[in-house]
Amino acid sequence: MPLLALRVQVPHEAAEALSEALLEQGAQSVSMEALDEPLALLSALFAGNADPKRALESALAQCGARSAGYTVGAIEDEDWVRRSQAHFAPLRIGRLWIGASWHVPPAECACVRLDPGLAFGTGSHASSRLVLEYLERMVRGGEKLLDYGCGSGILAIAAAKLGVARVDGVDNDPIALDITRGNARANGVELRAFAPQALPPDRYDLVVANILAQPLVELAPRLAGHAEHGAAIALSGLLASQADEVLRAYATMFDMGLTAREGEWVLLSGVRR
């Protein structure tokens, strides 16, 4: 039976939340395209007997977003695979390389293999690239790192490949936790993945969170509680227009500012007081 492909345009700030909501509504996978255009384009794959229109309506209501239009069409399994592979190009950031199982990595690099799948995060989005660039600059080796909102595990796995000695990930989605653990095993990385309530009260040298602006604001005391004195922190998943609100939430606990930008997406980073 042909699969069903839903393609929907949404504002960039709603794309990640809608991706997660579509997965909860039964999408088998979600990929993000048109990252440099005014609107993001999400492509979601559904089983042939699913109702993508109803799933989209429920997902939009769940995350409080509006679409700028969508299409639904049948697509054969092998056609979807070819299209997915064509859209997912390898990424090179300094000594770090990220690619899928069908790509050939260059020699002498920190290689992360990650196929597009159910959890958000392949490095293709600007918010992920900003954190990956930060990690490539900051990791010296031997650190302890917390990735809060780990998704596919891409940031945590990349950090381990760069030399971080201990890596813990947190996500409130049990599916994301399973995918993070599976991706870590596939990359030969030791990684612990926790639901938020199960995270031990440990402290870390590096804390990263690529989520959304409002959750970052709400998480400020919790992330500060897991950061050693002098620990580095990097926050992403937010637009330039949201930066001041997030900075205010962290101002009493961290010395930080807006340190990198790609298009409308920004990275906030700093040090724990």
pLDDT at position 119 is 41
CATH number at residue 32: 3.30.70.980
What phi and psi values does residue 239 have, to the nearest 5 degrees? Answer: -90, 160
As a whole number of angstroms, the distance between CA 213 and CA 236 comes to 8
| Co-location of 54 and 129 in the same domain | no
| Co-location of 149 and 230 in the same domain | yes
Please give the angle made by the CA atoms of 131, 253 and 224, to the nearest 5 degrees.
60
Domain range holding 145? 123-272
| Co-location of 172 and 60 in the same domain | no
CATH number at residue 198: 3.40.50.150
pLDDT at position 59 is 93
pLDDT at position 12 is 84
As a whole number of angstroms, the distance between CA 59 and CA 63 comes to 6
pLDDT tier, 78 (very low <50, low <70, confident <90, very high otherwise):
very low
Indicate whether 71 pLDDT > 80: yes
Q: How many domains does the structure of the chain reveal?
A: 2
As a whole number of angstroms, the distance between CA 25 and CA 247 comes to 33
In this structure, are residues 141 and 51 in contact, taking their beta carbons and an 8 Å threshold?
Answer: no
What phi and psi values does residue 17 have, to the nearest 5 degrees? Answer: -65, -40
Say which residue, 11 or 84, is predicted with more confidence.
Answer: 11
Indicate whether 53 pLDDT > 60: yes
User: Does 95 reside within a domain?
Assistant: no
**Side by side, which strands form the sheet with 40-46?**
29-33, 40-46, 3-10, 70-75
What's the mean per-residue pLDDT of the chain?
Answer: 87
Picking from 136, 141, 174, 140, the residue whose alpha carbon sits closest to that of residue 155 is 136
| Co-location of 15 and 69 in the same domain | yes
Local structure of 28: helix, strand or coil: coil
Q: What is the mean pLDDT of residues 81-106?
A: 73
| Co-location of 187 and 257 in the same domain | yes
pLDDT at position 64 is 87
| Co-location of 63 and 142 in the same domain | no
